[in-house]
Structures are given as structure tokens and as C-alpha cells.
Structure 1
């Protein structure tokens, strides 16, 4: 619509008051493009700006509506300081190499800033192995070993699949038979379903993705960027 309006403004005044054939319109558009090629770039830039504004407005609305679920969901694992004044929400997949690269960055931040809460949203979108790993990690909470299981899965080399997940579960001291039963629990199903819903609502399309205060940070992030986001979140509280 923006491009069409731009072309309309560029047409001769007389032509706007007369019925114009489709062929004539096409010829006028082509002529306008030849004489004013910058109009296309301007129209695209205006469209992109409007889309960015719309996306920002949607994200702000979702953050307002879902803030409690994002930051205070009792069915989401928490690392760092449970009583911290700033919450980082991370959506991740155990088969995501960028999630594994981001883990040391997040850990370094929490080591330096002991007033940060990390809410983990298991978002298994890459493979069946990812889904199996997410279920196993969430089920490990019933045996008090989520942090150990999460760390082991995030630091393992190679593709994360069912066999490797169960091997790691045994290495961290989990009762495998109990784990398999707990993997089918309603709490596990609910957590993953909520992660899917939140990620879609926020417009995330890949892992890792972070929420820090009012900021959405898609993709791999280094510690300095996290520090900036945490500082900005504190400034508005």
C-alpha cells in the first residue's frame, strides 16, 4: 500500500481524474521507477519501520500480559539467586550449539552478579532427541537434580538423543526407572506447552532467546550484552 501510494503521488495530475487502463498503469509505474528508483527504497524502508513498530508494540503487550508467567512460573526451573532483583528468562534447546555457547556467558554473569535470577524455559524445537532431553531434565526435578542434569546435557558433545540422555542421567545419579515415569507427568507436559506458547507470542523463531526486563534478545548473546540488559532492567525498577 505504501508503494502504491508513492506511485500515485508521482503520476500526472490529469491521469488521476481519468479512467486508466491496466497497461497504462503498468507503463506509468515502470516509467516512475526508471526516473525515481529511490522511491522503491523509501517505500521499503517505510514498510520495515512500520513492521518494526508493530512488532515492538506486540512484544510490549505480550510482556505486560505474560510477565508473571515468564518470571514467576512455579513450574519453571530457576538457577542463580531465587530472590534476585532482575530476572533473565532463557528459551533453549539441548541440541542448539548457540545455546551451549551462551551457557558460559550466562554463568559468568551470574558469578559476577549474585542478584540475578535465571528462569529456564525448556523449548525443544530441533529434534525428537531435544524433546526427550527436555522431558528428562524437567523430570529430574523430582529427584532434586535438575541443575546437575541441565549442566551435563548442555556440556555434552555430539547430538543429544535418548540413549545419551539416559546415560547422562545415570552418571548424575538419577533413578532411571523413576525418571522415565516422571517424564510423562502433567507438569512436564505443561512446562513445554507453556514454553511453546510464550515463544510464539513473543515472536521468537529460534534458540537461544532471552527476555530481560522489557528487552527481547533473540540469538546468541555474550556477557557484556547481558550486563547491559540487566543494568537497564534495574534502572526501571
Structure 2
């Protein structure tokens, strides 16, 4: 995808310096015509949200995705490759299951796996499964990936309230931002509603760093 053909919009306003770790932060103003409030700190720093990469990175990327989204399946590995190679990106995963009931199940399983430190393993496994897989198929695949299936079931039950609350917060944030669907990536001050390849992500991160340097 050509760089300037992206669905990429510059932020209307940057956040104040109250978040010094984030040299470039996303456009978090509610879309015109809406009054849904957005908790910016929860968007960027929710302690329950799986977050990887460099915790002190100079660019934060917030990824809204659905495990049944083909575009998400295509672009997320490219993003994860860039995060690993760049070394200065903080990546926040926002499970936003909006496409099917199985999307909700997949998100719940991935977040439950986080309680045993296996979110990434679950995430990568679920991304590779055929769309709208059954709960049993997902559970079997996670077990094959080395995730403790008995503990997974236990954590699903014990932490159902926390998992459900997190998914509701993610949905509220997506609605406050007026997101059109998945995937959406908040890259520094840019909002990208497109499935990018490696170079596309690299270009947007470069633009975010340039924008930060101009501040």
C-alpha cells in the first residue's frame, strides 16, 4: 500500500505534557457530533491491557483488532515484526471483538491466557486459526501452543468480571474515537484505519517521530 494512500489522519490536537513518556500521542478527540467521553489514561495505560515492546518507547501504537478480521490477521504480524526490530515502540493491544460471537470467545481466551503470562502465545495462535472457529477448536489450539488448558478454564471463570470490564472499556474507547471497524492503529498522533504492510507501519512510525521532533 502506498504511503500517501493510507487512511491516515493527523491529530487535531496533541495531548498536554502530562504524559511525558509519549513524545507523540494519538488524536483522542471524540468525533464531531458525539459527546462520549474518553479516558485517555485508560486508552494508553490501562494496567489490565496487554502491552508489549519497549515500555519507555518514543512512539506508542494502540492496535484495535478482532480475531475474525482478515485484515487484522494480515497486518498484525507485520506490526509485531517492526516492534521487535525497531526496539523503541510501545505496543498496546486492544481486543475489540465486534464481528462474531466467536470473536468474543477468542478475546476472552486470549485475555484469560494473560493471567498465566501467555497472552502473546494465545494471540499468535488465535490469529492463525480459520475464521469463526469453535470454542473447542480454539481451546485445543491454545493447549497445543503450550498454554495450560486447565488453568485457562479456571482463569476464565475466576476473572470473568475483569475480562468483561476490559472488553467494555475497549469498546467504549473505540466508540469515543469513532472507529469504523477493525483494524485501526493509533500511531503516535496518527489514526490509521487500514491493513498496513511492514513498510507502511515503518513509514507511519517515522512520521510520528518527525511530528514529535517538531514539537
How far 1:67 moved relative to its partner? 3.1
**How much is the aligned-residue C-alpha RMSD, in angstroms?**
2.4
Q: Is the aligned partner of 1:226 residue 2:201?
A: yes
Distance (whole Å) between structure 1 residues aligned to residue 208 and residue 40 of structure 2: 13
1:169 is displaced (CA, Å) by 2.0
Deviation at 1:62, TM superposition (A): 4.0
Change (3 A) 1:66 1:228: farther
State the SS of the aligned residue for 1:87: strand
- Structure with a larger share of its residues in helix: 1
CA spacing shift, 1:123–1:158, aligned 2, 3 Å: closer
Residue of structure 1 equivalent to 2:138: 165
1:199 aligns with 2:167: no
| Partner residue, 1:61 | 29
**What residue in structure 2 maps to residue 190 of structure 1?**
165
Deviations 1:131-158 (A, max 9, x none): 0110010000111111111111112234
Pick aligned residue for 2:83 from 110, 114, 119: 110
Select the residue among 174, 189, 192 that pairs with 1:214.
189
- In 1, are the aligned partners of 2:29 and 2:177 still within 8 Å (CA)? no
Indicate if the aligned counterparts of 2:62 and 2:93 stay in contact, CA closer than 8 A. Answer: yes
Alpha carbons of structure 1 residues 204 and 132: separation in structure 2 relative to 1, 3 Å:
same
Rg bigger for which structure? 1
Deviation of the 1:188 alpha carbon: 0.7
| 1:92 to partner: Cα distance | 0.5
**Cα displacement string for residues 53-101 of structure 1 (whole angstroms, at most 9, x for unaligned residues):** 9x968x5524995432222111110122222121100011111111000
Paired residues of 1:94 and 1:133 also in contact (CA < 8 A):
yes
Q: Map 1:1-80 to 2 at 5 A.
A: 60-62=28-30, 66-80=39-53
Q: Distance in 1 between matches of 2:28 and 2:136?
A: 41
Which digits, 9 at most, give the CA deviation of each residue in 1:180-233, with x for residues without a partner? 232242221121001100111111121111111221111312222322322232
Q: Tell me, which stretches of 5 or more residues in structure 2 are unaligned? A: 1-8, 14-26, 32-36
Following TM superposition, by how much is the alpha carbon of 1:172 offset from its aligned partner in structure 2, in angstroms? 2.2
Q: Which has the higher contact order (CA 8 A, sep 6+)?
A: 2
Q: Normalized against structure 1, the TM-score is what?
A: 0.70
What secondary structure is seen at the aligned counterpart in 2 of 1:159? coil
Question: How many Å separate the matches in 2 of 1:62 and 1:136?
Answer: 30
CA distance in structure 2 between the aligned counterparts of 1:129 and 1:65, rounded to whole angstroms: 27
Task: Give the secondary-structure state (helix, strand or coil) at the position aligned to 1:233.
Answer: helix
In the alignment, does 2:73 pair up with 1:100? yes
CA deviation map 1:1-27 (0-9, x unaligned): xxxxxxxxxxxxxxxxxxxxxxxxxxx
Does the 8 Å CA contact 1:212/1:233 hold for their aligned counterparts? yes
CA contact (8 A) 2:102 2:134 kept: yes
The 10-residue stretch of structure 1 (161-170 or 190-199) with the greater mean CA deviation from structure 2: 161-170
